[in-house]
Amino acid sequence: MSGQDLRRGLLRMARAARGVHTPFKITCLGDSLTLGVYPHFLSYMLGIEATRLGFGGKTSDHILERYRETARQDGVLVVWAGNNNFDDPEAVEADVDAIAALHGDSAKLLVVGLVNGDYLGRRFGEAGYKKITAYNARQAARFGDHFLDIREALIARVGGHNPDDVLPASIRKDKIHLSYRGNWLAARIVYARLKQLALAS
């Protein structure tokens, strides 16, 4: 199957899922992973247009500053930030906390965890890997069901456990960014958690 055929097939699946109609507005905030198409797929699933605030190549502090300009408290906020400064997890935590405070409604917040691409230093047992997985574990303890370890969820969804414990190549278009299939799966995972939290029908 060609990349174009895969893209068309995923768009057909997304359109078939359209029409659920969540009663809440939704904003997706983050770095280049949010700049991808997962918010568009999520829009189809929710039956509403998701506001996409993706800032490619930016660290969590930059994302925080940009959110200050557009912070809204009338809907659901999905935050997927920190992948570009994963090596300073305490700063990422502080920035995510500040974003949550700006949003103001913890019941309508979903914090998405860090992912490790196939880079030297971020593979199983390496220093970056330990920082990423420790960050995710701490945030899971702090936010409970309002935290989503999307790294683990994506790996499990495709049965892609591998010796390096990185995002499987089958859902990436490069070392870390998701392919159309990966974005579709990410949207499905986020949507399922929003339903669990009664933030989507």
pLDDT given at position 18? 54
**Alpha-carbon gap, residue 96 to 108, rounded angstroms:** 14
Residue pLDDT, tens place only, 15-47? 555 555 556 789 999 999 999 899 999 998 998
According to DSSP, the residues that pair with 111 across neighbouring strands are 79, 147
30: left (phi over 0), alpha (psi -120 to 50) or beta: left
Q: Give the containing element (helix H, strand E) for 140.
A: helix 127-143
Domains of the chain: 3-196 (3.40.50.1110)
Rounded Cα distance, 28 and 40, in Å: 10
DSSP 76: E
- What pLDDT, on a 0 to 100 scale, did the predictor assign at position 19? 52
Torsion of CA 132, 182, 100, 140, to 10 degrees: -50
Residue 112 is given by DSSP the state E
Query: What is the pLDDT, as a whole number, of residue 72?
Result: 73
Kindly report, residue by residue over 64-84, the tens digit of the pLDDT: 999 999 877 779 999 999 999
Structure tokens at 80: 């997927």
